[in-house]
Chains A and B, each alone.
Chain A
Amino acid sequence: MDTSEPASSPQIARRSFSAVIWLTLAFVLFAFSLVGAYNELRRRDALSVEGLGEQAHALFYTYHEINRFMVSLSRYTHDDPFKEAGRKDVERHFELLVSRIKMFKAGDLKRNLAGDEDLEQVISELGKAIALVEILLPDLPPDPRDPRYLRIVNTLDPLRLVVFIQGREKVVEISARSEELLQTISNGSRYLLAPVLTAGLLLLLFTAELRRSRKLATALTEESMHLRTASEQLAHEVGHDHLTGLPNRALLEEFLSQSLARARRNGSELALFFLDLDRFKPVNDSLGHSVGDDMLRMVASRLSSSVRETDIVARVGGDEFVVLFEGLDEAGQLEAAHRLLANLHQPFPIANQTLFIGASIGISRYPSGGTEPHQLMRNADAAMYNAKRQGHDTVVFYDPQMNSYAEKWFEKEAQLRTAIKKGEFELHYQPQVALSDGSVVGVEALLRWRHPKRGLIMPDEFIPLAEASGLIVPIGDWVLRNACKQAARWQRENLLPIQMSVNLSARQFQVPDLAAKVVSILAETGLAPKHLLLELTESMLLTDVEFAIEVMGELSALGVRFAIDDFGVGYTSLNYLQRLPVSQIKIDRSFVLKAPLSPSAGAITRAIIALGNSLQFEVVAEGVETPEQRDFLRAQGCEMGQGFLYSRPLPATALSAAMLLGHFAAYNDGPITSKANALSEVHANEQAAPTV
């Protein structure tokens, strides 16, 4: 220890001088590194989570607005039985969507966008899509088959999914970034030792900043958790159907693309079942939407419980469901389809009643039924339509020949549109006779389409199309006018004071000026109102009972009479029956056909006849084909009937001739056709088909 050395020795002074320099240098170096670290921290704060959060938020809302716009557009174009949405809703949702997309074009969102090429491209695509919709929207008619509507859907639909996926990626990125930020700060504490020794002041600054950042990072982690929960909830909400809680169409499409990717990779089986409920509409129409909703919920839970946990059940429309099966071979798929049908055949105990429905299933399989999601959906849908046409409660696998189905539908609609102008429609008339003596009491007017290439077409082949396209209203008017004209002519020719029954369609019945229209047709044709009998179905009456009472009251005051068609298959309550000015009920042919043989059909027929008689309605049995049926009906007190036993529907001239010959009045024990063979042979091309 050298204590004799003076403190001011030059050597020491030099040494301490260089130490000062070194210290200063170190200080400066640390200061620079600190400033760098400080700036780096600040930059990360600014960049990271908040901007991403805003992007994720904005993307999810954009997705949401696209969805809402498309839903209201679809409601506007389709005849949605569940809710009414007008053009105004569509326009409002479009404006909201535009405002959302414009947000990406200014302010922080625009600044944060810089450099994110994917997102920039999505926004630019959205901008283009919106510009297109803006052009197409003003003249868009409420028609789901309008090419402009299809173009809008095809433009927005893929973008919707892209926006959703982008939003989800941002949320994932947020978590990653905030974790990274915390990590960086924790690692940073290693460098703290040096600053403590050299620069207390800077250290204070640094630690203060550090603490702020750490707090921010923790807050951001929390925020990102919060955001993630919110986005998952939002994703669940937009991905699921509110009524049944099943995935909706949008989510199904995601599942489907994932399943398809697996099927492609592993060469595994994938089948898409498109299931549409049979006989659901009458339930919904006559028992009310809340019963309909209950039934849909029960259907959803039955479907879910009839499949494995890994299979996907989704609701894609009013009463349309899709089930995705992976790893089942064709036999397994068929078995699964029948299991679904069997479960739906079980009675539904709802609102103190036991209801029965069924379903038609179309199946498309990868790859023969399509290799892309929309192909599989479309083809399964086409197969489902075939199942429906084959008579409900059936399963049909997609076959490439079905492809042309949609085109055929379009073509047929165009032909139907011109059929009135070209005079291709005809009315045939089926006599209604007194069962006691076979005398003609009235006739029912039945529509036929004489197609230039396909010959005579029965109404059940084109009426659904006419109803879907709205053509039913002009066609129905044509029927009413011509039937009245014919009845008036028969009266003038003094053949019989014949009563003319005419079927009204649901759409015609809903037209507000129905009463005025009937009055003007009666005036124009000169038919007395008391000779006109309008046939309605039960579901038409019950859709809006008050309206039905009003319209029917107005017409019955003039003398027009009403019949309820297909009685027994709906859910008419006696209470309504008494309130409505109905004078005739027609027993559905399905009961009449089985009545003498099946005890249950017999019992129902008996009950309907007794009910009709006690309420003083005329009771007409439809579809009387055999003497046994006639005898059974007569024995039960049914007074009138129509069917092939008496006469098939005939054109007016043929029927005039038969009436002139007195066939009906004379007839009692054998079918008219045996006495008037010549007449029926003229119409031999007419297949025995149910009357409509």
Chain B
Amino acid sequence: MNFFKLVLAMSIVLGFAGSAAALDSTILSVQRTDGAEVEFNLDQLEALEPYTLITHTVWTDGPQQFTGVRLTTLFEAAGVKQGATIKAMALNDYAVELPWSDIRKYPVIVAYQLNGEYMPIRDRGPLWIIYPQDDYPKLRGSGVQAKMIWQLNSLQAVQ
């Protein structure tokens, strides 16, 4: 994995992320505050340190196990420096802003698996931002729900 991080870091330095084949299956693009864009395919996301959390959500029945990458891990890999907010956008044009404080204080993840299965678009996949609502009762409520954006396809760091 360290090797992968090195490759990723190098490809970012060189100004392109991954081969042409990898670009084809990009599922997430991260825009840094300097305007540079870093693209991730599923393999690249899975190569980052995984994080699993179990929580209820208002859209599902019963406790759910989400596996993904912590946003802090992702941003570190993409070379995103701290900004004021993150603008998250979805395939269905839904967009929402996530404050940096949320990401720092709580293990907020970009989930790519739900209960051990990859998520197709029709099940809110391929990526879904998940807040640990069970572990932190403070995070329950419609404000945080609005930030749990599904069908995520791009993140943009705003200074």
Contacts and interface: CB of A to CB of B under 8 A. Distances in A.
Interface string B124-157: 1000000000000000001000000011000000
A106 interface: yes
A106 B151 contact: no
B46 interface: no
A99 B61 contact: no
A512 to B, nearest CB: 23
B120 interface: yes
B105 interface: no
Contacts of B124: 99
Interface string A545-560: 0000000000000000
Interface residues of B, number: 15
Interface string B80-96: 00000000000110000
B49 interface: no
Given A106-B61, A107-B59, A108-B59, A99 B142 contact: no
A291 B67 CA distance: 51
Interface residues of A, number: 17
Contact of A99 (B57, B58, B60, B121): B121
What's the dominant secondary structure at chain A's contact region? helix
Interface in A66-114: 92, 95-96, 98-100, 102-103, 106-110
Contacts of A173: none
B123 interface: yes
Nearest to B121: A95
A18 to B, nearest CB: 48
A100 B123 CA distance: 9
Main secondary structure of the interface of B (DSSP, over half): loop
Interface string A41-55: 000000000100010
A65 interface: yes
Given A99-B121, A99-B122, A99-B124, A92 B60 contact: no
A96 B92 contact: yes
Contacts of B92: 61, 65, 96, 100
B59 A109 contact: yes
B141 to A, nearest CB: 10
Nearest to A108: B58
Contacts of B121: 92, 95-96, 98-99
A217 B130 CA distance: 29
Interface of B: 57-61, 91-92, 120-124, 142, 150-151
Interface of A: 50, 54, 61, 65, 92, 95-96, 98-100, 102-103, 106-110
29 contacts: A50-B142, A61-B92, A65-B92, A92-B121, A95-B120, A95-B121, A95-B122, A96-B91, A96-B92, A96-B121, A96-B151, A98-B121, A98-B122, A99-B121, A99-B122, A99-B123, A99-B150, A99-B151, A100-B92, A102-B122, A102-B123, A106-B59, A107-B58, A107-B59, A107-B60, A107-B61, A108-B58, A109-B59, A110-B61
